[in-house]
A and B are shown apart, each in its own frame.
Chain A
């Protein structure tokens, strides 16, 4: 049963696909919430993710120089504070003036913010790649031995286990927030119908702030998980993630956080599995076209079902 093919499929295609899917899912949560609540496609989301990863790296390096070695996940909450602050400042300076104007004005503004943040990162940290963690990550020995004894060896480095665990924790926390707390319920209400929510006395500005905070935390986590996986910091990585994240948000349905998680996993898996040799021995699709898979799924969704799988909003 667990032959060489299945071993290869699970370890080199399925697990990396799920890891990528987790990262897309976390990014897409922020995009879908902003799209649902503030009603615009935030192009700056990828760049905010990227800046979160850079800030985490800076915290780690600064403390590392002082002799304190931090795991990225420990530095993550501190970076979140900066990123949430950045989101709130962007909102105040660039998005709030257009709250009452046509939404397309905000989209243009976010397009500009994308460039401003990316250039700022390039000015501060330089345009070249930076190694996030050095060395080759070894597979988790315990997991390898246990699954090896069971006859289905799974090779997973610790970083992937951390990414899975982190994503699960964040999604559970998010579902608690959205279902049990007052703020979360208000967020869902505004997403479903802003006018009705306003009439019932919900403070829309507070909800918008909460959206940026939730989106900021998820975006930082996504950015840090991405660099934990690839081990390099790049200034273009945010822009590269943008399209798959939009695809995930549209696939799951705009304004539906669970849809975004599902969409992210589907897009991540589809991207990795598209390179699996399903027919013959050559990859089904040249790995260079991975990004194209997300785009193709998005275009098909826009034609067939623009409201997404989970009956989100279609404008």
Chain B
């Protein structure tokens, strides 16, 4: 029984992190897939979301600002808003220029955000980071939650303590994974709706032929800034969930550009940019490959270690991680050159008029 639970928990953590990455990929899909905006600083927006959430929801602490102890949904909403505000500022400056400049500016803003997180030790506790970030569902078993409203209405603190002791210590894992997947699904449905709406079709028109859509009277700059802000807000929300999953965040290793920005790009390109379903499929696929290759490489190192006893396995282990990164990079180049559409290429929605006409010709009624 015990080992099955181990597999189950591994599978659940795969789903959780895969779901969080899928949220990032959906956010990037609005920016790149819908509007053709190159965001090379995903990690910056994720970090803003994660830190906003962490500062607002943790318990009072002497190490960093506040720990305001606000309810979790408030923190998640604030994470979206904070990320969106940053995106609005950078978008207003760079979006009228060509996409290369936006790429440079976003990579810059991501670095600046990390600099601020590292240097403003009064607020963020600097390189030591913030810990004890409340995770949805697991947080109910923390004393400060079950002793206060609304949980204190239903049971006494002692009663709650006994209740949580009676649960297995991983009780929150399926619930948290479910929450992440639910958030992902809601975002997916909303984006599908947006894609099929006049707004989404206008975005495609702007991406494919800017002068024509400008001539048709569309406010190109405004629409692009909208897409950039919506994408960043989704990334901020993903960042809040990321902080919940990790429970300890710090500026350097948690928000490593190669592990966030780059991996999300590979996911979207592999899945199919412009296709929301593709973004989700790509995220789960690449994340599974990424974490499975860790196990594979660990096995390979054991093998090499057994054959060549003179090598130091510790050195191999640290370097193998980078080999993984290199292979993912090469995988991206192959997809980009050979399969530019990805696994699920973009499907353009037909305009309502065309649908009506088709229906008329074939005699169907819609």
Q: Which A residues fall within an 8 A CB radius of B?
A: 35, 40-41, 43, 93-94, 97-98, 103-105, 107-109, 111-113, 115-116, 118-120, 122-123, 126-127, 239, 242-243, 246, 250, 286, 288-289, 291-292, 295, 298-299, 302-303, 306, 314-315
Contacts and interface: CB of A to CB of B under 8 A. Distances in A.
A120 B326 contact: yes
B329 A116 contact: yes
Given A104-B36, A286-B119, A295-B108, A302 B322 contact: no
Q: Which of A103, A108, A242, A303 has the most CB of B within 10 A?
A: A108
Contact of B40 (A43, A291, A292): A43
14 contacts: A40-B100, A98-B337, A105-B336, A107-B99, A113-B333, A116-B330, A118-B258, A119-B325, A122-B325, A123-B319, A127-B318, A243-B111, A291-B112, A298-B105
Contacts of A105: 336, 340
Main secondary structure on chain A at its contact with chain B? helix
The majority secondary structure among interface residues of chain B is helix
Interface string B92-126: 01100111110111011101100100110000000
Interface in B294-347: 315, 318-319, 322-323, 325-326, 328-330, 332-333, 336-337, 340
B265 interface: yes
Interface of B: 36, 38, 40, 93-94, 97-101, 103-105, 107-109, 111-112, 115, 118-119, 257-258, 262, 265, 269, 315, 318-319, 322-323, 325-326, 328-330, 332-333, 336-337, 340
A302 B101 contact: yes
A126 B315 contact: yes
Nearest to B118: A288
A112 B336 contact: yes
A103 B101 CA distance: 12
A107 B93 contact: no
Contacts of B118: 288
A135 to B, nearest CB: 27
A37 to B, nearest CB: 14
A272 to B, nearest CB: 17
A50 to B, nearest CB: 14
A112 B111 CA distance: 18
Contact of B101 (A93, A112, A295, A306): A306
Given A115-B325, A288-B115, A109 B336 contact: yes
Given A109-B336, A111-B265, A289-B115, A298 B97 contact: no
B97 A108 contact: no
Contact of B100 (A41, A115, A123, A286): A41
A291 B111 contact: yes
Given A105-B340, A295-B111, 18 more contacts: A104-B36, A104-B100, A108-B38, A112-B329, A112-B332, A112-B333, A119-B323, A122-B319, A122-B322, A123-B319, A291-B115, A292-B112, A292-B115, A299-B105, A299-B108, A302-B94, A302-B101, A306-B101
Given A242-B107, A295-B111, A119 B322 contact: yes
B100 A103 contact: yes
A246 B104 contact: yes
Nearest to A286: B119
B258 A115 contact: yes
Contacts of B325: 115, 119, 122
A96 to B, nearest CB: 10
Contacts of B108: 243, 246, 295, 298-299
Contact of A97 (B93, B115, B328, B337): B337
Given A107-B38, A119-B323, A299-B93, A126 B318 contact: yes
Contacts of A113: 329, 333
B106 to A, nearest CB: 11
Contacts of B98: 315
B104 A41 contact: yes
Contacts of A239: 257
A314 B38 CA distance: 17
A93 B262 CA distance: 20
B265 A108 contact: yes
A38 to B, nearest CB: 11
A243 B107 contact: yes
A103 B103 CA distance: 12
B104 A298 contact: yes
A98 B112 CA distance: 31
A26 B104 CA distance: 19
A110 to B, nearest CB: 10
A291 B113 CA distance: 11
Nearest to A296: B112
Nearest to B38: A104
A114 to B, nearest CB: 8
A147 B127 CA distance: 43
A117 to B, nearest CB: 9
Contacts of B38: 104, 107-108
Contacts of A295: 108-109, 111-112
A298 B119 CA distance: 21
B336 to A, nearest CB: 6
Contacts of B328: 115
Contacts of B94: 302
Contacts of B105: 298-299, 302
Nearest to A104: B99
B249 to A, nearest CB: 19
A302 to B, nearest CB: 6
